């Protein structure tokens, strides 16, 4: 069995705790099982290693998204599938990155704030809602959902397994897997 060498970017965006990382890890593993070259760029890991020192202003968040996008562009054009799980709150920055990358699949992972607060084991949403955490996306800072994502997942209404299958289906429908 030959290994496919065509790269693309699969970008999952949504609020903290919506399920982006969980879904992206499972999709990346499935791609590896299909003998594809994959790199997973998780927002938290990227911030620690590639974007250390950036704050949470709009400009810093956009810089973070552009850095992730640059890495995705390099990976994709070199035959690697870049799977991203990043809040990436501003639509314009996501659109800018999308315009630079050849094949870009945008997945919006949506979940209501009350469910996110229930899921949040660290209590960050409760702190943010109480005004104790400034610049918290979706509470005290804006999140601009994609207007026309390639796939829209409601993680409060479907299982992780179903979400992963829906991502896989769109990749198959576009002849990417």
The tens digit of pLDDT for each residue in 4-29 reads 568 999 999 999 999 999 999 999 99
Q: Point out the catalytic residue in the list 16, 51, 76, 88.
A: 88
Give yes or no for a contact between 107 and 64, defined as CB atoms under 8 angstroms apart: no
Token duo for residue 131: 């005004």
How confident is the prediction for the chain on average, in pLDDT? 93
The predicted-structure confidence for 72-100, as pLDDT tens digits, reads as follows 999 999 999 999 999 999 999 999 999 99
88 included as an active-site residue: yes
Please state, in angstroms and rounded to a whole number, the distance separating the CA atoms of residues 154 and 140.
22
What are the structural domains, with CATH classification, of the chain?
A: 8-173 (3.40.50.300)
Low-confidence winner among 23-27, 67-71, 131-135, 140-144 (lowest mean pLDDT)? 131-135
């Amino acid at each position: 069995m030959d290994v496919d060498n065509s790269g693309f970017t699969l970008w999952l965006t949504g609020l903290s705790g919506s399920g982006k990382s969980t879904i992206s890890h499972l999709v990346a593993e499935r791609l590896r099982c299909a003998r594809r070259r994959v790199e997973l760029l998780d927002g938290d890991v990227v911030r620690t290693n590639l974007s250390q020192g950036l704050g949470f202003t709009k400009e810093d968040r956009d810089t973070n998204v552009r850095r992730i996008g640059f890495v995705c562009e390099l990976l994709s054009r070199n035959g690697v599938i870049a799977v991203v799980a990043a809040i990436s709150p501003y639509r314009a920055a996501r659109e800018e990155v999308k315009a630079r990358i050849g094949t870009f699949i945008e997945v919006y992972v949506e979940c209501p704030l009350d469910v996110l607060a229930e899921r949040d084991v660290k209590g960050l949403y409760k702190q943010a809602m109480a005004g104790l955490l400034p610049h918290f996306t979706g509470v005290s800072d804006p999140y601009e959902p994609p207007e026309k994502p390639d796939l829209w997942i409601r993680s409060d209404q479907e299982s992780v397994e179903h979400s992963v299958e829906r991502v896989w289906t769109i990749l198959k429908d576009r002849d990417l897997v």
